[in-house]
Structure 1
Amino acid sequence: MDVEKFDMTNYLSVLPMFSNLTKPERENISQDCALRRLSRGEMVFRAGEQCEEFHVIVTGQVKLYVASSSGQEKIVELIGPGQSFAEAMMFLNKPHMLNAQTLTDTMLMSVSKQAVFGEIERDPRFSMHMLAGISRRLHGLLRDVEGYALHSGMQRLIGYLLRDLDDEITDDMGTITVSLPVSKATIASRLSLTPEYFSRVLHELEAERLIEIDKREIRILDVRRLASYGCH
């Protein structure tokens, strides 16, 4: 995607928090937005740096993580195209608590604090869209905490594979293919599992003829059986 030809005003229109704004309003905000390309492995920001903007991923993927003094990482969230991050710290006026690093070549749109606060002052309804986005992230994190506390590693992995199906599981579902967006080790960290345990569970599910593994492609052979397998 060509950065110079990218229509920032038009892209804002497809993002929930900006979709209700008029075109002139989006044009005004886009003047305080910056578009940049980052290579795989580049840092978007580090914990401790001041937060002066939030970010929306146009293409690519970013991991949010904490790192211990020994260098070990715990991935808190994986962010993909159309998703935003760092809004909460911007409102708190505090330094970043997490690190953000690209997992692939990524195009980011960064929206300045000045643009956001200016729009809220002009139209307080805009703050409701921002709050909705932050609330969705909080709900997701709370769901993760519940999973870590109440569900086994097997259940968490199965839940991840079936995450896009919600409650739509039916008996007549055929084979469904899930493409892992990042490495198995990265997903394992996201689920608070060791890479070794993650691989062991995948191979157990494959031995049970519930899935087939082809590198990052996971073919789910029996959705209903897989959904109930982790409950045993």
Structure 2
Amino acid sequence: MANAELFYSITSQNSKAITSYNETLDFFKEEIKDIVKKIYYSKDEFIAKEGLKDDYIYLIERGKVILTRKDLKDKEHTHGYLMAGEFFGISSMIDMTHTSNYKALTNCSIYAIDKDYLKDYMDNHLEFNIIFNKILINAMRSFTKRQGNLMMGGCRSTFTNFVIEHFNDFGRIDDEGNVLVTLDVNLSEIALILNMTRETLSRVIAEMRKEGIIETKRRFIKIMDLQRFVI
């Protein structure tokens, strides 16, 4: 399958999730805008902390959020990441504490939605209740799949899956049929997201360059052989 054909196949699958996100975002911005707060977080700022209860659930409009925990030696580890269009803090809906720290990896704009108002609205609007629950289930499935890639996949497959997630927003086909992806994070941030060292990530990228699969320059990736990239 040619680069362009495979690229459009992947982005077509991703578009279903993007459509759901846009519809949900429009709802929160228009229908219940009085109880939705838009908050800006700077890079490395904590949004919510492990072990604490919250009055809100959150929807990322722009930026990336990482999930972290500290080990017994008080060292912080990343064990997941979230992107624009994704919810977090869902445990607040059932009055449970956060199970992770949520930290802004980049500058973020995030919608904080009052959990009590949302629950009341869902109780009185059955159609929205059904739609919103489907969105949450799909979000949890996507997050679970991503977690599986982080835990079970090798460093190379983890990196390629991360790049593929950016095709819709940051990818395009050039005149020669190559896939061009301009990421909004640098290598150090990608390594942090994927819970690997900068050296390991650099080695993975160097191997793919040597094999003629990609070319890179700062936050820019050119994929010359998408078939081999996704395998």
CA RMSD for the aligned pairs? 2.9
- Which digits, 9 at most, give the CA deviation of each residue in 1:149-192, with x for residues without a partner? 653322222233334569xxxxx981111223323233334334
> 2:137 matched to 1:135?
yes
Misfit runs of 4+, over 6 Å: none
Q: Partners of 2:21 and 2:207 in 1: how far apart? A: 41
How many aligned residue pairs are there?
A: 204
Q: Partners of 1:104 and 1:42 in 2: how far apart? A: 9
Q: Which residue of 1 aligns with 2:7?
A: none
Q: State which of 13, 16, 23 in structure 1 corresponds to 2:23.
A: 16
Query: Does structure 1 conserve the Cα–Cα contact (< 8 Å) formed by 2:182 and 2:221?
Result: yes
Normalised by the length of structure 1, the TM-score is: 0.75
Alignment of 1:28-67 (within 5 A): 29-67=32-70
Q: Which residue of 2 aligns with 1:5?
A: none
Distance 1:53 1:224, change over 3 A: same
1:18 positional shift: 6.4
Query: Does structure 2 conserve the Cα–Cα contact (< 8 Å) formed by 1:77 and 1:190?
Result: yes
> 2:160 matched to 1:158?
yes
Distance 1:201 1:41, change over 3 A: same
Q: Partners of 1:165 and 1:142 in 2: how far apart? A: 20
Which 5+ residue runs of structure 2 have no aligned equivalent?
A: 1-19, 169-174
Q: Which residue of 2 aligns with 1:76?
A: 80
Q: Which residue of 1 aligns with 2:219?
A: 216
Q: Which residue of 1 aligns with 2:185?
A: 182
Matched to 1:193, the amino acid is: M
- Which digits, 9 at most, give the CA deviation of each residue in 1:33-75, with x for residues without a partner? 2222222222111111212111122333322222324222214
- Secondary structure at 2:106 match in 1: coil
Could you tell me the percent identity over the aligned residues? 20
Distance 1:61 1:189, change over 3 A: closer
> 2:194 matched to 1:191?
yes
Distance 1:62 1:188, change over 3 A: same
Which 5+ residue runs of structure 1 have no aligned equivalent?
A: 1-12, 167-171
Q: Partners of 2:214 and 2:193 in 1: how far apart? A: 21
- Which digits, 9 at most, give the CA deviation of each residue in 1:14-40, with x for residues without a partner? 74346579x6xx1xx221122222222
Kindly indicate which of the two structures has a greater share of residues assigned to helix.
2
Matched to 2:65, the amino acid is: V
Query: Does structure 2 conserve the Cα–Cα contact (< 8 Å) formed by 1:90 and 1:113?
Result: yes
Q: Which residue of 2 aligns with 1:6?
A: none
Q: Which residue of 2 aligns with 1:95?
A: 97
Normalised by the length of structure 2, the TM-score is: 0.75
